[in-house]
Amino acid sequence: MGADSGQAVERVAVVGPGAIGTAVAAVLHEAGRTPVLCGRTPRADLTLVDGERRVVVPGPVHTDPGAPAETVDVLLLAVKATQTAAAAPWLRRLCGPGTVVGVLQNGVEQVAAVRPHVPPGVEVVPAVVWFPAQAQADGTVRLRGEPRLTLPEGPGAQRVAAALRGTRCRVDLAADFADLAWRKLLQNAAAGIMALTGRRAGVFTRPDVADLTRAYLRECLAVARAEGATLGDDTPEAVLGGFQAAPADMSTSILTDREAGRPLEWDIRNGVVSRLGRVHGVPTPIGDTLATLLAATSDGPG
């Protein structure tokens, strides 16, 4: 089933009902558009907690991509980047000729990473996810900000925006998407320090950690500019200030993954800075060190 940007999307799937996937599924359900839920763990429903609001999204979460399934208009891929290949059977099963895949993942290489796993003719649209959502020990997800996505301008992005129209998730279409994606990558790269220290946002109020973060972000900024981003000189200070102004107990997905013993998204958040730095001849000594330590933390041995 296809739908142009002026029509209501009839069928939406969320693949990867973790923290971000649950939040997006919840806002769709609130608007009367309960999505098809697909993931690795069978669940009867999903629960989002937002202050005093509690949204229960009816399932089930489907776990067998080999079972018969209809194709969808819009597929929102919310698995971690480390799980993209594992989600490929869902992409093949749920994508038809008119499907658009919106990638709700970190990084600046989303399209290149996902496109090999979708059928020919399926458009892949990258997104910047601006809101924090955290999985809780009881299986619920806590939303800690207003849901907001940014997509690049274009017909595919308009289809994704149409799928979320009327929900409380704000969707912006941006001509300067590459700048915004790199701005978010700087934030994600700095969050790697939280995974290495085992500390939450309060760690950035330490003067020594703040100095290290500032220097690292300047390396990241140089690489972003070499890639064509037009971020200002004040970007590193603004990113650091955002961490320092956050609640001291604010976590991040890469720290949550470390605490749970899961593989870390170190390559698409930190390794990419070193890789692209080498391509452009931009030195990244701090980034190289952090990426090596994060890789060892994630992958071992030991």
pLDDT tens digits along 71-102: 999 999 999 999 999 999 999 999 999 999 99
What mean pLDDT is reported for the chain?
95
Kindly list the catalytic residues. Answer: 184
pLDDT at 8: 54
Identify whether 65 is preceded by a cis peptide bond (ω within 30 of 0). Answer: no
pLDDT at 68: 77
- DSSP-derived 3-state class of residue 144: coil
Predicted model pTM: 0.91
> Given a cut of 90, is residue 5 above it in pLDDT?
no
Q: Which residues contact 57 (CB under 8 A, 6 or more apart)?
A: 22, 25, 26, 29, 34, 37, 45, 46, 47, 48
Q: In degrees to the nearest 10, what's the CA dihedral of 230, 236, 241, 244?
A: 140
Mean pLDDT confidence for 215-240: 98
pLDDT at 69: 79
pLDDT tier for residue 302 given thresholds of 50, 70 and 90? confident
For residue range 265-274, list pLDDT tens digits in order. 999 999 999 9
